[in-house]
Structure 1
Amino acid sequence: MRPNLVGRAHILKISATDVQERSSTCGMGGALKVRPDVVSPEWRRRRDDTHPFLGGVIREAACALHDDPRVETWEGTHAAIREKLAAVPLHPATRRYAEHAIANYLEVHEVLSAETPGLEFRCFDPKVFPEPSGTLTVWAPLYESPHGIREIRKIRMGSVRAKPKEPDRWTVVAAHVAGLFPPQRALSLIRVVEIGLNDASYQVLFEATPEVVRSTFTTVALPHLQKIISADSVHPGTFCKDCKIAGCCDALDKWDGFLGQPTPGAATRSVSARDIELYDICPAQWFLTYSQFVPKKTAPGAASHRGRLVHEWIATAHSRTQKCTLEDIGDFREQETRTGTMSEDEYAEIQPYLAQHVEICPLNTGSQIISIEAPLYGYDASADVIIASTPDMIFVDGDGSLVIRETKTTSREIPEDSAGAFDQFFASAWLLNLFASGYRGPYQSTSARLELEVISTSESNVFTWDLADAGVLRMAKKEVRLRAKSWHRDTTWEANPGKHCTWCPVKSWCPEAPTEDAVDADALD
């Protein structure tokens, strides 16, 4: 236990999700997650209770309707669902998704019940106690038949995924918990079923006798479970936003005042520059995508997809720690082009952008790369927010100066000067604000700068800001403060309908999104 932690470390509560996810992330974060009694007296993560946990709302309403006679008809089902959800304070878009998801769960339940006669709901989140001070649990509904078949269900917000050749750790732990849970009758078979709430898809992930389940748990899951319990390494990452010691963890940089907000918001949150940009477009889209995790259209926009391919190519090329040349962007079939998994058409689309990059590639003799697209994490104590940032590249040039390099692709005209680039690309203010908030990187240098590389199919330019310029840093802090203010205080996440609804990945759930007819009419106008 660290000096700033108190509580009974021998009390353990481990879930199937912990075993699946926590053995390969921050060791200390995982070890604390499975010790519910251990806390820090210095800091507590605050939760936003404005919106209920959507997955819990869906499954509780669905299971409560199993024996409701109204679900025998389509009209009756939806009337019963609306009645169940009437008193739940849901966002308008999550309410629409919840109604859809509950109906799909009931549809799958009807099919599964027909396949296993007498199958009945027994409880949520079964818990077993294999050790006096240890609890093993799984977040899932448990069912049982009179013939000794026990079924536990994994619920996905979207569709079922491709079935793995061997059961994963979540599946094995879930089956093990189902097998140990006190039976009403002798068990003959344990089954783990996955259900996709978006399209009523389902599949059997694992099916075995209790004896096989126990042996599979011992070989597949137990080693990872033990690793989580004993881990003590610290590694910042995406799990920081859920960690019980994020605000007092030494592994997170101290970037107090990064967002420029004088008081904490409604809850402990995590934010990146992309989050703020997406929120500015539509608060509801950010909320549905990064808080509620409703299903979204996976196909990215053309510009986003192109930008990702360009970034992947440049990152791969820079990993050689040498300057990019025209020979690197030759014919698609040449090995030197490093096209990876992209198609010939995709490479043809990004090749002009790569040609522009070659002309201004920053690596030269003497350059020392520190990181390529490595995430940085810090904590803003004033706002109670974890700050996430992923610079495209940090390196030391031949003169010994520290350089943060960010690359942007555009189909529009490239800004004329640094002021225009600063206004157009929020990443500039965000990365400048890293230094304004205290970040100095792993390399101590008397000089440092931010370079923004903007490339199109026909031109390119590099805009530069001196990271020692106090005026530039003040400008960056002001921009971040103004852009983050509404996001930081928001708890309603109202939709902001507009032309961007056309390519919004979650518009199918948003009541405010214009219909296809309205979009077509707007285009004609």
Structure 2
Amino acid sequence: PAIPSAPGLLGVSGSGLPRRSWSMTTGRTHRRCPARAHLESLFLPRDEPAEDTDAIVRGKAVHAWIESRHRRTPQRPCEPDDVPGPPEAWQYEGWSLSGLQARLGIQMIGDHSLVCPLRERPEDVEVQPERTVAVYDPDADTVVVAKTDLLYRVGGRWTLRETKTKRVPDEGDLLDQFPQLALAVLLARAGALPGNGDCAVEMERLTASGPVVTGIDTAAPDVVARARSVLEPYVTPWHADARYPAKAGKACEDCPFTRWCPDAAERRVT
């Protein structure tokens, strides 16, 4: 009863399989290798993962730093000089950066202060960083789980904001680039987010040329239709899958579950 119900959220129904949970991560992993998605859902012990790229490390470090600023008590806006250091090399929560990535990460954190939700009226803003949202779709017999970057309220209006770091912004379709935005649109329309069906959705992109915040019109029928289209390949194949076959090969290179997978053991890429 504590989990709200949203019939038709995922746009699929009746697989005949046991009740399961789905997240955007599940959908991405299943597209790459269904076996990995299944092994991950069993919470099996993981092998040492492959090293992240410098850009991924920078993104995680920047994200963690901004989250920590939003969790301060009493809450206050992020400031341009509220950045880690020294500029040539710094680390936060285990993420270490140096050289260009360190300097770029500091710039991105400083740029965030220009678009921080607490910037205008901090006394009227409520922020909830990294809040997990769960909703049950009875048509799909699936619990949908989404970990949001930031939910914040200004006055009576709630907004879900996703934040990404990217050195050069891509001006293509945001829903296609970031499927979690498509999920956010459907969650907002289903009333699964705070605000009684009136939660806004926006994307904050921190780039080498400055911050960009883009609002998504969750009430526009074409946007909702596009969101469903974007999510379909992440949802439908997973929902119908009862066997979880392995896609042995390139997908094995960074998979932490290869010791549990006979197919990977036979054809693992080294």
Partner residue in 2 for 1:310: 62
Deviation, 1:294, is 4.5
1: distance between equivalents of 2:225 and 2:96?
Answer: 45
1: distance between equivalents of 2:127 and 2:69?
Answer: 15
Deviations 1:400-451 (A, max 9, x none): 532110112346x42214x2x211111111111101223240x458x64211
Matched, 1:325 2:75: no
Deviations 1:25-48 (A, max 9, x none): xxxxxxxxxxxxxxxxxxxxxxxx
2: distance between equivalents of 1:291 and 1:430?
Answer: 24
TM-score, normalized by length of structure 1? 0.44
Partner residue in 1 for 2:188: 435
User: Share of identical aligned residues, percent?
Assistant: 25
Deviation, 1:270, is 0.7
1: distance between equivalents of 2:148 and 2:26?
Answer: 15
2: distance between equivalents of 1:462 and 1:426?
Answer: 17
SS at match of 1:278: helix
Letter of the 1:416 partner, please give it.
Answer: E
2: distance between equivalents of 1:290 and 1:283?
Answer: 11
TM-score, normalized by length of structure 2? 0.81
2: distance between equivalents of 1:485 and 1:286?
Answer: 14
1: distance between equivalents of 2:111 and 2:214?
Answer: 15
In 1, are the aligned partners of 2:162 and 2:204 still within 8 Å (CA)?
yes
In 1, are the aligned partners of 2:50 and 2:254 still within 8 Å (CA)?
no
Letter of the 1:297 partner, please give it.
Answer: E
Question: Structure 1: any 5+ residue segments left out of the alignment?
Answer: 1-249, 517-525
Partner residue in 1 for 2:147: 390
2: distance between equivalents of 1:271 and 1:277?
Answer: 11
Letter of the 1:314 partner, please give it.
Answer: I
In 2, are the aligned partners of 1:256 and 1:380 still within 8 Å (CA)?
yes
Higher relative contact order (CA 8 A, sep 6+): 2
Partner residue in 2 for 1:365: 120
Deviations 1:310-342 (A, max 9, x none): 221111112233332221115349xxxx96544
**Which contiguous aligned blocks of 4+ residues in structure 1 show a shift greater than 6 angstroms?**
none
Aligned residues: 257
SS at match of 2:238: helix
C-alpha RMSD of the superposition: 2.9
Deviations 1:236-276 (A, max 9, x none): xxxxxxxxxxxxxx200112211111214411101111111
In 1, are the aligned partners of 2:205 and 2:212 still within 8 Å (CA)?
yes
Partner residue in 2 for 1:143: none
Larger radius of gyration: 1
Q: Give the counterpart of 2:169 among 391, 399, 414.
A: 414
In 2, are the aligned partners of 1:373 and 1:393 still within 8 Å (CA)?
yes
1:187-336 equivalences under 5 Å are 250-291=1-42, 293-298=44-49, 301-302=52-53, 303-320=55-72, 321-332=75-86
Label 1:358 to 1:267 Cα distance change in 2 as closer, same or farther (>3 A): same
Label 1:410 to 1:283 Cα distance change in 2 as closer, same or farther (>3 A): farther
1:54-73 equivalences under 5 Å are none
Deviation, 1:496, is 2.0
Deviations 1:171-202 (A, max 9, x none): xxxxxxxxxxxxxxxxxxxxxxxxxxxxxxxx
Partner residue in 1 for 2:133: 376
Letter of the 2:134 partner, please give it.
Answer: Y
Partner residue in 2 for 1:496: 247
Structure with a larger share of its residues in helix: 1
2: distance between equivalents of 1:298 and 1:280?
Answer: 19
2: distance between equivalents of 1:272 and 1:347?
Answer: 35
In 2, are the aligned partners of 1:273 and 1:427 still within 8 Å (CA)?
yes
In 2, are the aligned partners of 1:283 and 1:494 still within 8 Å (CA)?
yes
